[in-house]
Structure 1
Amino acid sequence: MSFDLPRNVILPVDAVDVRLVASPHPFERDNQTAIAENWRREMEMKPALYDGTVVLLSALSYRDHRLIGRCHAVKYSTFMLWRKNRELSGAEHAYAHAVLVAGDNALVAIRMGSHTVNAGRVYFAAGSFEPIDFRDGLVDIDFNMIREVGEETGIDLSGAARGQRYYALSTSSGTVIFRRFRVAEPADEIAQHIKTFVAAEADPEIEGPV
């Protein structure tokens, strides 16, 4: 299957069948020394980085409005080296964005904190898939979206109205899956809630709302 999906075009998605397998990702298995050396350099630049667990794809395809794929748990240090060696790596990255729509139809995004890898970048609150986001081996996209938004902003989207379907955009840097989540509160109220949450965090992931 490898990677077989249209690039640089928004795709309607009715189902996501991405499964986590127990075997090691070949990229991690074959690059242990380079991973360790790169991580040492990364930690020198950003000591707050944490070598947790994320997932990388070894296959992804698009058929009949479905995303079908296979992924493997890897160390974050593996992911950091992969970012610098995407071409011919046999690996790709997928992640999900909850598009937060306020009651006044404004979109509420966030700006990443200065200590993070994506410092200063603006996008909807999101994060890589982790093993906790899988149910019986199958990724739970909405769980990942709701979890990441809650961790970064303090907002609970579990009761929000959700768009009828997902959409995906696949580029050379990765595949993003997104879905609208609509809440009743106006954007200013949501932004103030996020600011209050960030101010109370000892080590917030984000600078604040945008």
Structure 2
Amino acid sequence: MTSRFRRIRHIRATLDSGPWSYAETHAQAIDSAWRTATTANPALFDGEVLVITHREIDGEVFEARYRPVRYSQFLHYMRHGEPDGASRNGFAVAGLTGSDGALVMGIMGGHTANAGRIYFPGGTPDPDDVVDGRVDLEGSVMRELTEETGLTAEEVRVEPGFWLHEDEKRSAFIKVLHSPLPAVDLRDTILARVARQAEPELAGLHIVRSHDDLRPDLMPPFQLAYAEWWLAGGREV
């Protein structure tokens, strides 16, 4: 396989404690940026998320150590920080795929930090994703799927493992999920459930069938790369 994606069959992720060096050295800038962000969007919440501070890849095994940090610290690093060679957002997303082969992505709601952006359901892990000292990305992606779309694991066929895409700050794990519904019916099912949510994270859904459906202006690099790769038949390479 010659692409920026690689198959990961096992993730071994543990939780470390202690301060994050980036947060300590950028404390004032983080506080200032957070005040600006919450003035623009008061719905933002400075809870804890988990950031990778060390990772190794051996074949199809991904090993990582995560550390809990404040969301304000994480957001500043992702938006303004220089890559330090170790810290990265290691997250999983649900690669929703209709029975017709089309991809179904979420459009983030206006109250979220990524309003209007288009990508698969998922997100940065948080302390709820820690099980017996282990960061459970398998559980994280299914939890996010249900929270964002109302779908459950019983309604999709889950492919084993993940497809991994990395850049200097991100390790994006795509878990491929197959729905028995064609993409339009899947979209309508999700929208009906989202409409019943008190505070939905999604403002809508976006279907990708061809390159004409790609939105480089709204899709983060990993999402755009995956869609292009999928359309090119990358998983059969």
TM-score normalized by structure 1?
0.88
Unaligned runs of 5+ residues in structure 1 are 1-7
Compared CA separation, residues 164 and 89, structure 1 to 2 (3 A): closer
Determine if the alignment matches structure 1 residue 137 to structure 2 residue 133. yes
Q: In 1, distance between residues paired with 2:135 and 2:61?
A: 13
Q: Secondary structure at the match of 2:195?
A: helix
Determine if the alignment matches structure 1 residue 63 to structure 2 residue 58. yes
Letter in 1 for 2:46: D
Q: Which of 141, 157, 160 in structure 1 is aligned with 2:156? A: 160
Q: In 1, distance between residues paired with 2:174 and 2:105?
A: 13
8 Å Cα contact 2:85/2:168 also seen in 1? no
Q: Residue 11 of structure 2 aligns with which residue?
A: 16
How far has the Cα of 1:172 moved from its partner? 2.4
State the percentage of identical aligned residues: 28
Compared CA separation, residues 106 and 158, structure 1 to 2 (3 A): same
Q: Name whichever structure is richer in helix by fraction.
A: 2
Determine if the alignment matches structure 1 residue 34 to structure 2 residue 33. no
How far has the Cα of 1:166 moved from its partner? 1.5
Letter in 1 for 2:91: Y
How far has the Cα of 1:194 moved from its partner? 1.6
Equivalent residues, number: 203
Q: Residue 110 of structure 1 aligns with which residue?
A: 106
8 Å Cα contact 1:194/1:208 also seen in 2? no
Q: Residue 5 of structure 1 aligns with which residue?
A: none
Q: Residue 220 of structure 2 aligns with which residue?
A: none
8 Å Cα contact 2:68/2:127 also seen in 1? yes
Can you list the C-alpha shifts for 1:93-125, whole angstroms capped at 9, x where unaligned? 111111112233322111111222211111111
How far has the Cα of 1:53 moved from its partner? 1.1
8 Å Cα contact 2:87/2:169 also seen in 1? no
Compared CA separation, residues 152 and 18, structure 1 to 2 (3 A): same
Can you list the C-alpha shifts for 1:9-60, whole angstroms capped at 9, x where unaligned? 2111111112111223222244333322221111111111111111111111
Q: In 1, distance between residues paired with 2:57 and 2:72?
A: 29
8 Å Cα contact 2:53/2:65 also seen in 1? yes
Q: In 1, distance between residues paired with 2:74 and 2:85?
A: 11
Q: In 2, distance between residues paired with 1:13 and 1:90?
A: 19
Q: Secondary structure at the match of 2:153?
A: coil
Q: In 1, distance between residues paired with 2:70 and 2:184?
A: 38
Q: Residue 145 of structure 2 aligns with which residue?
A: 149
8 Å Cα contact 2:48/2:71 also seen in 1? yes
TM-score normalized by structure 2?
0.79
How far has the Cα of 1:89 moved from its partner? 7.6
Compared CA separation, residues 75 and 89, structure 1 to 2 (3 A): farther
Determine if the alignment matches structure 1 residue 77 to structure 2 residue 72. yes
How far has the Cα of 1:158 moved from its partner? 4.5
Q: In 2, distance between residues paired with 1:15 and 1:170?
A: 16
Letter in 2 for 1:101: T
Residues 123-134 of structure 1 aligned to structure 2 (within 5 Å)? 123-134=119-130
How far has the Cα of 1:69 moved from its partner? 1.0
Letter in 1 for 2:53: S
